[in-house]
Amino acid sequence: MGKKPTTNYIIATVMAFNAGTRKVVLKARGAAISKAVAAAVMVRDRFLPGKVNIKEVKLLSDKVQGQGGRERTVAAVEVVLEMA
């Protein structure tokens, strides 16, 4: 997940499932975490109701290079969606 609108990620996820993919992992860190959660819930509840389940949610932390070359820790999440 990145800076694009949440609907872009929802459409890409739905298209992947419609193409036959059985599992999609949405990964995000920092401020994009809310987009990943919103996309997962929208796919499950609105776009493919009864067909997709949220199988797993992993809470992680990533180390990234901050300004001035300093390393900092950023919260991250992985949401695993699977066909029911």
What is the tens place of the pLDDT at every residue in 2-33?
A: 999 999 999 999 999 999 999 999 999 999 99
pTM of the model: 0.88
How many domains are there within the chain?
Answer: 1
| 71 pLDDT more than 90 | yes
- 48 found inside a domain: yes
Q: Alpha-carbon distance 3 to 23, whole Å?
A: 23
Residue 67's pLDDT is 83
- 15 found inside a domain: yes
- State the helix-helix crossing angle for 33-42 and 6-18, rounded to 10 degrees: 50
CATH number at residue 79: 3.30.110.20
- 12 found inside a domain: yes
- 34 found inside a domain: yes
Strand partners, 58: 78
Token code pair at residue 80:
């695993």
Average pLDDT on 51-67 reads 93
| 66 pLDDT more than 90 | no
Domain extent at residue 32: 6-83
Token code pair at residue 28:
């995000």
Going by pLDDT thresholds of 50, 70 and 90, the confidence category of residue 68 is: confident
**Short-list 43, 51, 47, CA closest to 25:** 43
Token code pair at residue 22:
């059985």
